[in-house]
A and B are shown apart, each in its own frame.
Chain A
Amino acid sequence: MMLLAVNVDLQTDATLQVDISDALSERDKVKFTVHTKSTLPNFKQNEFSVVRQHEEFIWLHDSFVENEEYAGYIIPPAPPRPDFDASREKLQKLGEGEGSMTKEEFTKMKQELEAEYLAIFKKTVAMHEVFLCRVAAHPVLRKDLNFHVFLEYNQDLSVRGKNKKERLEDFFKNVVKSADGVLVAGVKDVDDFFEHEKTFLLEYHNRVKEASAKSDRKIRSHKNAADDINRIASTLYTLGTQDSTDLCKFFLKVSELFEKTRKIEARVAADEDLKLADLLKYYLRESQAAKDLLYRRGRALVDYENANKALDKARAKNKDVLQAETTQQVCCQKFEKISESAKQELIDFKTRRVAAFRKNLVELAELELKHAKGNLQLLQSCLGVLKGDT
């Protein structure tokens, strides 16, 4: 369960530890068992578990986003919706096509699809867990009341998914927000740090998106090739059992070899998916969250500057000066508060990012080496046997 690809260096101290200890996949939903260990006085017990569904995670995330107090923080990105549709479809197709293949082929394919299903399942659990760990590790967010309710309240939170009207509203909100985002981004920042971050994040986010899409395609091709090798192994086996010449032993041996190497190839694709593709996907979402932070700060800056202008106007006209002053002060405070925490957040983001990439790239290289060496050994030993036979 501990596929914490990106969960590096999160200060999991004894005061609050969260993990997903179990998960159950039902018809069209996944039930996560969220397990908490804490010495904080806020909780009734030191250790407890509740069952949560995906919609409740989203509710928690959205409540952070909508909370003005947290405007100056990078809100940990929400975990993606569990998507077993493709996998379920494949299993269904397999069931329908059962009559057209041999028993061995059917069993083999079933095992693979089940393994794929399990892998997707593990991934979705990991991503939900990472979200909770990020929140638990954040000095401010961990104290959030909604978070504690999420962790402790052992009844259903009655959070229903958004209905059509609400989803439409969200859609328009996003359109407005991105339009506004463009306007806000256009405003040059006096602070070099933030100006640099703005340019950097924009480009970085786009490049991560590219790389993520390309790595997905690459891994898919790899899986397809492994599937072909699987079919080749099966046919070679049949040839081996049918052949009347010396080739029968040959075919059987090579079939056995390909069975093993294709398992390795499938593992290579799976590991690349885990260490590289998932990493890129995660940082795609995190860099978006960082961009959102910059947007909020930019918005606050624009509001502050507008408030200043309004104050000057009010003073000039000598009308509603007090009100203008209050507004200006509020905007100023808001802006400065966001700026202060945003700077630290962005620095932390970089640290986390570098650490995550380092860990994953090292592990990726180590796994690639392990698999290549395993493959090589299988190939060489088979070659030795085959050459010796002739």
Chain B
Amino acid sequence: MSEEREPPPLPGAAQTVFPEPQDAEDLFVSAASAMESPEAACLSAEDISPSSNGPRDDDPDDLFAEATEEVSLDSPERQPILSDGPSPAITPVTPVMISPRVDVFDRSPDQDEDEEENRDTFDIQISVSDPEKVGDGMNAYMVYKVTTKTSLSIFSRDEVCVKRRFSDFLGLYSKLASKYMHMGYIVPPAPEKSIVGMTKVKVGKEDLSSVEFVEKRRSALERYLLRTVKHPALLKDPDVLQFLESSELPRAVSTQALSGAGILRMVNKAADAVNKMTIKMNESDAWFEEKQQQFENLDVQLRKLHASVESLVCHRKELSVNTASFAKSAAMLGNSEDHTALSRALSQLAEVEEKIDQLHQDQSYADFYLISELLGDYVRLITAVKGVFDQRMKAWAKWQDAQVMLQRKREAEAKLQYANKPDKLQQATDEIREEIEEWEGKVQQGERDFEQISKNIRREVGRFEKDRVKDFRVVIIKYLESLVHTQQQLIKYWEAFLPEAKAIA
């Protein structure tokens, strides 16, 4: 690796690295000399100074000066986080870590703008439709038709139709999360499993609740796909493309709740939770602290709102049922009333109430599909956002741990000075030197990763908030329009009834 030593490429923004060679040179020289002559086990003061190990947010010069060693991005620790799919295509827009470092640091702010413009000409329509039951009994499952219509060039055809089942969607999410979440990307979560709901469908109950369940799921899957492709990086991901285009998809077995992978996931989640409690991060960037607090507050309020809206949906359904029931009783009363005009008016009242009950039912669907589901989606999305902040904490912790290890190795090296076994000394010194080099590399990588994920998160959060504003605006306006329609209908019905009531003589 020492042969390929070349100065680190310049990031677009950080132009100030080289113009200030003074400080950089010292460290550069000492580090370089340390590498060239492993025998010279004397460490200059600067190397083990605390300043070279801690977070260097305020001193970008030294950051890059230390990075004399090229750490290959194909190092073993990278592998586990790669997906099991084929390696992604390398395009200038895709900030995938597997590509050479050049791309990673080439992401200038200008490119961010370009991306936004591309999104305005975003041309892809996805629909999930035609749920079909396949198989019988407990092995049965629903298959959905996924239709993609697009003019984007990354797709092989203008219009593609494929058949997918629920676990395919879960599998897609699983792959995307494992690829992108650790980089700070907000990956839209897939809809939740529902054992109760699915069992009813499997058992073959053709009643209203299973029909509603399938429709709810279909709609949720559609929203999930739309959100996924709205993300510029995810849209170009080969797993996504394969999901949308290829007629056959390998069955995602690891999504079963009680499978080995499922249990591993649960264990990991628990471990993460414990880790989160023990990591105390020195937050030097107020933006992150502020944003985390904001998302925390948003989470609390959205959950509260969601609960109230769910209650409203329930009560409106109840109102619809009770109105229908009242309508019937009013009709019966009208029948037994022996004053003809009053009898007729009561029958008319019954008809009005029947129409109103249908109105309430329609309104409750709007309550649900527009507002309640949106809120549910956002509660899950915010969990993903919080997850991404956690990933940043993990990256920070990893970086800190690497620094601690480096420190230990350096101390061990210093100790070797005082060991009095000259014949073993050379070998031990060589070993420790290698280890120090290794950990220096890891520290640099850790810092780079931390910087990168922080940058990504800033960008992602910006994008997320923009989408959130748009989503809520659109949905709330649609919802208010549905309320307007309901009132207009009510006016129509009561205006028709009033003369009937007045006609009672």
Chain A interface (Cβ < 8 Å from any Cβ of B): 200, 203-204, 207-208, 210-211, 213-215, 217-218, 220-222, 224-225, 228-229, 231-232, 235-236, 238-239, 242-247, 250, 254, 257, 261, 350, 353-354, 357-358, 361-362, 364-366, 368-369, 372-373, 375-376, 379-380, 382-383, 386-387, 390
Contact B484 A383 (CB under 8 A): yes
State the CA gap A361–B504 with chains docked (Å).
10
Chain B residues contacting A211 (CB-CB under 8 Å) are 326, 329-330, 332-333
B29 within 8 A of A: no
Within 8 A of A (CB), among B333-356: 333, 335-339, 341-342, 345-346, 349
**Known: A221-B319, A250-B476. Is A376-B484 also a contact (CB below 8 A)?**
yes
Chain B residues contacting A225 (CB-CB under 8 Å) are 312, 315-316, 319
Contact A239 B337 (CB under 8 A): no
Contact B476 A366 (CB under 8 A): no
Cross-chain pairs A/B with CB under 8 angstroms, 8 sampled: A200-B338, A203-B336, A232-B305, A235-B308, A242-B301, A247-B468, A353-B339, A358-B345
Q: Mark B31-61, 1 if CB is under 8 A from A, else 0.
A: 0000000000000000000000000000000
Closest B residue to A264 using CB positions:
B487
Contact A357 B504 (CB under 8 A): yes
From residue A35, how far is it (CB to closest CB) to chain B in Å?
33
B502 within 8 A of A: yes
State the CA gap A243–B469 with chains docked (Å).
10
Contact B497 A250 (CB under 8 A): no
Contact A372 B476 (CB under 8 A): no
Closest A residue to B472 using CB positions:
A247
Contact A239 B305 (CB under 8 A): yes
Contact B491 A373 (CB under 8 A): yes
Bin the interface of chain B by size.
35 or more
Chain B residues contacting A220 (CB-CB under 8 Å) are 322
From residue B295, how far is it (CB to closest CB) to chain A in Å?
10
Please name 15 further chain A to chain B contacts, defined as beta carbons within 8 Å, in addition to the given A214-B326, A220-B322, A375-B483, sorted by A numbering.
A214-B329, A217-B322, A218-B323, A221-B322, A225-B316, A232-B308, A236-B305, A250-B472, A350-B338, A354-B504, A361-B349, A365-B497, A365-B498, A376-B487, A376-B488
From residue B360, how far is it (CB to closest CB) to chain A in Å?
9
Contact A246 B469 (CB under 8 A): yes
From residue B364, how far is it (CB to closest CB) to chain A in Å?
9
Chain B residues contacting A358 (CB-CB under 8 Å) are 342, 345, 501-502, 504
Chain B residues contacting A204 (CB-CB under 8 Å) are 333, 336-337
Within 8 A of A (CB), among B287-314: 294, 297-298, 301-302, 304-305, 308-309, 311-312
From residue B466, how far is it (CB to closest CB) to chain A in Å?
8
B480 within 8 A of A: yes
From residue B380, how far is it (CB to closest CB) to chain A in Å?
18
Which 5 pairs, one residue from A and one from B, show the smallest C-beta to C-beta distance? Answer: A228-B312, A221-B319, A361-B501, A214-B326, A358-B504
From residue A45, how far is it (CB to closest CB) to chain B in Å?
41
Chain B residues contacting A232 (CB-CB under 8 Å) are 305, 308-309, 312
State the CA gap A390–B469 with chains docked (Å).
11
Contact B333 A207 (CB under 8 A): yes
**Known: A207-B336, A218-B319, A242-B297. Is A366-B498 also a contact (CB below 8 A)?**
yes
Closest B residue to A220 using CB positions:
B322
State the CA gap A277–B468 with chains docked (Å).
45
Contact B484 A235 (CB under 8 A): no
B106 within 8 A of A: no
Closest A residue to B303 using CB positions:
A235
Interface of A: prevailing SS: helix
State the CA gap A390–B471 with chains docked (Å).
12
Chain B residues contacting A231 (CB-CB under 8 Å) are 308, 311
Contact A228 B501 (CB under 8 A): no
Within 8 A of A (CB), among B479-496: 480-481, 483-484, 487-488, 490-491, 494-495
Chain B residues contacting A362 (CB-CB under 8 Å) are 498, 501-502
Chain B residues contacting A229 (CB-CB under 8 Å) are 312
Contact A247 B345 (CB under 8 A): no
Within 8 A of A (CB), among B92-141: none
From residue B356, how far is it (CB to closest CB) to chain A in Å?
9
Chain A residues contacting B332 (CB-CB under 8 Å) are 207, 210-211
Contact A247 B473 (CB under 8 A): yes
State the CA gap A371–B294 with chains docked (Å).
39
**Known: A362-B502, A390-B473. Is A245-B465 also a contact (CB below 8 A)?**
yes
Chain B residues contacting A235 (CB-CB under 8 Å) are 301, 304-305, 308
State the CA gap A250–B346 with chains docked (Å).
43
Contact A379 B316 (CB under 8 A): no
B268 within 8 A of A: no
From residue A297, how far is it (CB to closest CB) to chain B in Å?
19
State the CA gap A238–B308 with chains docked (Å).
14
Contact A376 B315 (CB under 8 A): no
Closest B residue to A233 using CB positions:
B308
Chain A residues contacting B495 (CB-CB under 8 Å) are 369
